Chains A and B, each alone.
Chain A
Amino acid sequence: MDLMFIYLALVLVLAIFLGFELISKVPATLHTPLMSGANAISGITIVGALLAAGGSENTTLATWLGAGAVVFATINVVGGYLVTDRMLSMFRSRNEKSDE
């Protein structure tokens, strides 16, 4: 358990530094799609939600909690990616505009 924790903590630290590096290069113009896209990624909790909702044959309190989490996380994932795509499709350069 202890060694596992150290591995997970290492992953955490590296991912946070990587996140800082990546995100600080995103221009201000794209900050709203960045947020909604990040939002969709935070829907990764869906993985945990699936395991909780489908983890037992009997319907228990854990199943209910997992089921609720699946609803919330799916909204986040599906809505987040779709709305980000919708926004990004509107960003056009001058050249693309004149091509139309």
Chain B
Amino acid sequence: MLNLVAINAAYIVAAGLFIFGLKMLGHPESARRGNFLSAIGMLIAIVVTLLSQGILTWYWIAICAVIGSVIGASAARLVAMTSMPEMVAVFNGFGGAASLLVAWAALFDAHGLFVAITVTLSVIIGGVTFAGSVIAWGKLSGVMTSRAIVFNGQRVVNSLLLLALLACAVLFCLEPSAQSPYLYGVIGLALVLGIFVVIPIGGADMPVVISLLNSYSGLAACAAGFAINNIILIVAGSLVGAAGIILTNIMCKAMNRSLGNVLFSGFGAVKTATKVEGEVKPISAGDAYLILEAANSVTFVPGYGMAVAQAQHVVCELGELLEAHGSEVSYAIHPVAGRMPGHMNVLLAEANVSYDQLVEMDDINPRLPSIDVAVVIGANDVVNPSARDDEGSPIYGMPIINVDEAKTVFVLKRSMASGFAGVDNPLFMGPNTRMLFGDAKASISEIISEFKP
């Protein structure tokens, strides 16, 4: 049995390990060790808690920990890298749910207004995180439509929900008890609100939502920490909360939209973009090979379409062939390419592309005019020049990768359908653009076979 001082001292060590772990995540070389350190911190926190005087029976703990470990470990082993956004979404939700339950259980031991307020906060944030994450998971995994679900009076309904939630919260805090009907009201309304907040957000805005829910899962843990007076929950929870907020901010900037705009308005079809006219110039895989073979520098620009087509492995193979052929190969990645921050980087790393070849948008843009061929794979809005040139375009102002400045652009695309935002893309009609129609994986495999006589 450890006393309170020993336990809190161990918590400080754990907090230090979390902090060091996050610091080491700052570079790909040290990141893996950083994650390991952070896991050691977690282990220390768990072990000293188990040894504390507060634990009277291990019976339920043992059963539940085994169940959780089996589910967690198999999910971590089996998940495909293309499905990482779904996995992170659902894990965010579990974090929220755990905090909700912990705060609720805290009501049986502790009393008073302060506890009631922190429990309420934790339950609200945890509930919204859980329900919102489940919806985000549904949208990302294709269980439900990934389109924005909007209906008339949505804002009125959401405002009423929020008001009812606040009313229940106040009534509960005035007379806090674990069996208070108002507590059930708060839990139920928080879950419903979580659903309603996420359904109007479309698939392409998911990077923002996941980052925000990530932040919430941390804040829920933090609030639970206040409820049970536990310092390690507050430290770890606020580190995660800060991480999520920073990522949310980066994602919003990369789309040139405010957080409010992402959350409260489905993609506005208010503005009408200039109709793009011009001729689309298709190219065959054979001709694409001839141009690539002669190129000195090639940049691949992947988007969500690459993940859908599972084309990352053939893209990497083509990249290696081109390098062996003497051209300089890089991969330009837009911050919101894919369905979560850094999604494309993980896919390419899985396909064995080295991380020094992955270039961020701001670094590749000045180099693009001197690049011979830019190959766009399943990306659309993030390379749409109307974001730069057409003030009427709904995506005007969003920073893009200026592939149209490269000497030649190949766009790999299934058909001429427009991107998620439903915006026409003048890039496809550009004088230096050639369209390579068909499945991205099949098209690239065809080019690769040309390289191997």
Contact = CB atoms under 8 A, between A and B. Distances in A.
Interface of A: 1, 4-5, 8, 11-12, 15-20, 22-57, 59-63, 65-94, 96-97
Contacts of A37: 21-22, 25, 34-35, 38
B233 A29 contact: no
Interface string B11-48: 00000001101110111110110111011001001100
Contacts of A50: 46, 49-50, 55, 61
Contacts of A54: 50, 54-61
B353 to A, nearest CB: 9
Give the dominant DSSP class at B's interface: helix
A72 B49 contact: no
B335 to A, nearest CB: 6
Interface residues of B, number: 114
Contact of A75 (B72, B99, B229): B72
B114 interface: yes
B88 A35 contact: yes
Contact of A92 (B68, B109, B211, B355): B355
Contacts of A55: 54-56, 109
B227 to A, nearest CB: 8
Interface in B218-240: 218, 220-222, 224-226, 228-240
Contact of B19 (A18, A28, A49): A18
7 contacts: A18-B242, A23-B246, A40-B39, A61-B108, A68-B97, A70-B64, A74-B68
Contacts of B335: 28
B197 interface: no
Contacts of B350: 90
B95 to A, nearest CB: 4
A29 B342 contact: yes
A28 B336 CA distance: 10
A79 to B, nearest CB: 3
B68 A45 contact: no
A18 B94 CA distance: 25
A57 B56 contact: yes
A60 B99 CA distance: 18
B31 A30 contact: yes
Contacts of B76: 78-83, 86
Contacts of A34: 25, 243, 247, 341-342
A89 B32 CA distance: 7
B64 A67 contact: yes
Chain A at the B interface: mostly helix, strand, loop or mixed?
helix
A87 to B, nearest CB: 6
B357 A19 contact: no
Contacts of A4: 229
Given A77-B46, A87-B346, 18 more contacts: A1-B112, A19-B242, A29-B345, A30-B31, A32-B343, A33-B31, A33-B346, A38-B244, A42-B214, A44-B42, A44-B233, A47-B232, A48-B225, A53-B64, A54-B56, A55-B56, A82-B72, A91-B349
B46 A72 contact: no
A44 B237 contact: yes
A57 B68 CA distance: 22
Contacts of A41: 18, 22, 38, 42, 218, 236, 239-240
Interface string B97-132: 111011011101100101000000000000000000
Contacts of A11: 231, 234-235
Given A46-B46, A92-B354, A32 B22 contact: no
A85 B35 contact: yes
B39 A83 contact: no
Contacts of A63: 60
Contact of A25 (B26, B46, B61, B97): B26
A35 B29 CA distance: 17
Contacts of B50: 50, 54
Contact of B98 (A12, A45, A51, A90): A45
Contacts of B101: 49, 52, 65-66, 68-69, 72
Interface in B235-261: 235-247, 250
